[in-house]
Structure 1
């Protein structure tokens, strides 16, 4: 269970810093692993890269702000880590299928990517069938060589 708590702690750090620069090393340290292994574990478990998860979460929060406030697009772009409103608009369009300006219209459907958390669910729903099979005699063929510590073991192979 410690593993789950550490991963959830790393996710909490990421979620708390979506409007700031996220340091992968801090998240990895919270998960007690290297940045490389944290990114690999995250991608394996969630089935999307960590950077994509962060991008989707930021654009989900931005979409909520676009629809529920009068914040300018340039301010949202800077708040969520984009260098320009054009880059933000392209990313927003790619994810939601509409521009931020179009998303302000009432009734516009946008995609939402919810926050993730890690939980274990243990199910005992499938019975495992097995059988023991006895095999007849068989021969194993190989070659044995003796080598010294200073010899190349693959020289004669």
Structure 2
């Protein structure tokens, strides 16, 4: 099953469950993508968050029902499309359509139709994407501090964790430790997401650390990653935006069952960050 087929299968599931509770773990499973990464992939491809897309699709369907069924109640539509009250539904409806649901029943009222998404290959412009493949034929020991992160809030919470690490001195400790015994490659300050790339739980442990082989500090933990292959991309934010839409669909690699690692390099390095993505060959 190719990449486009997997993504469109996930979109089919969303479409079939707009009037039910949508299981985001199932969406990610159908797309064969880690739950942690799928929302970012979706946003980078569409320019809108997945939750916002679902909200807009539901309100679009609600508008059609109001126009075509004079007997449908506002309360029933609110409950059908996941709102706790008619007031909450009405506010969201007006934000999208510009009118209240009661007004939307009238013919001649201009409403918004949000079409369902499907994905196709398109030519976006020949902008090269730099990467390299690293074969690390040795185990990697990473030492640091773990924090529990809720999966659905990860992209908001993790930057705050790093800000706190700067304020409380943890970041400087990691910098000092990384200087004590510099390691070749993957030598920066690391953010390790969970234990596996395919995060399916409601929360996971995020480790802020560095490669370190001396005595383990009492307040830190150690993880060991096996020999593995990595696709390495410069500039973390740009890499996340283009990884799923431009690189994975054409690469001869799939995600491996290891965590992705955000590698923060020295501020004077160009680029000053790298995204390390664990991969296995499709051949």
TM over 0.5: yes
Residues 108 and 33 of structure 1: is their aligned pair in 2 closer, same or farther, counting only changes over 3 Å? Answer: same
The match for 1:80 is 81
The answer to which structure has the higher helix fraction is 1
Please report the RMSD computed on the Cα atoms of aligned residues, expressed in angstroms.
1.9
- Alpha-carbon distance in 1 for matches of 2:182, 2:102: 69
Write out aligned runs for 1:97-136 (5 A): 97-122=98-123
Write out aligned runs for 1:33-48 (5 A): 33-48=33-48
- Alpha-carbon distance in 2 for matches of 1:54, 1:6: 18
Which of residues 149, 152, 155 in structure 1 aligns to 2:181? Answer: 152
- Alpha-carbon distance in 1 for matches of 2:89, 2:79: 9
- Could you list the per-position Cα deviations for residues 30-52 of structure 1 after superposition, in whole angstroms to 9, with x for gaps in the alignment? 01111121111000000000000
- Alpha-carbon distance in 1 for matches of 2:34, 2:121: 23
The answer to which structure has the higher strand fraction is 2
- Alpha-carbon distance in 2 for matches of 1:34, 1:153: 31
Structure 1 residue 122 displacement after superposition: 4.7
Residues 153 and 77 of structure 1: is their aligned pair in 2 closer, same or farther, counting only changes over 3 Å? Answer: closer
The match for 1:137 is none
Bigger radius of gyration among the two = 1
- Alpha-carbon distance in 2 for matches of 1:153, 1:100: 63
Q: What stretches of structure 2 of length at least 5 have no aligned partner?
A: 127-179, 184-283
- Alpha-carbon distance in 1 for matches of 2:182, 2:54: 50
SS of equivalent to 1:36: coil
TM-score under structure 2 length normalisation = 0.44
Structure 1 residue 55 displacement after superposition: 0.1
Structure 1 residue 106 displacement after superposition: 1.1
The match for 1:66 is 66
The match for 1:3 is 3
- Alpha-carbon distance in 1 for matches of 2:112, 2:44: 23
Residues 115 and 82 of structure 1: is their aligned pair in 2 closer, same or farther, counting only changes over 3 Å? Answer: same
Q: What stretches of structure 1 of length at least 5 have no aligned partner?
A: 127-150
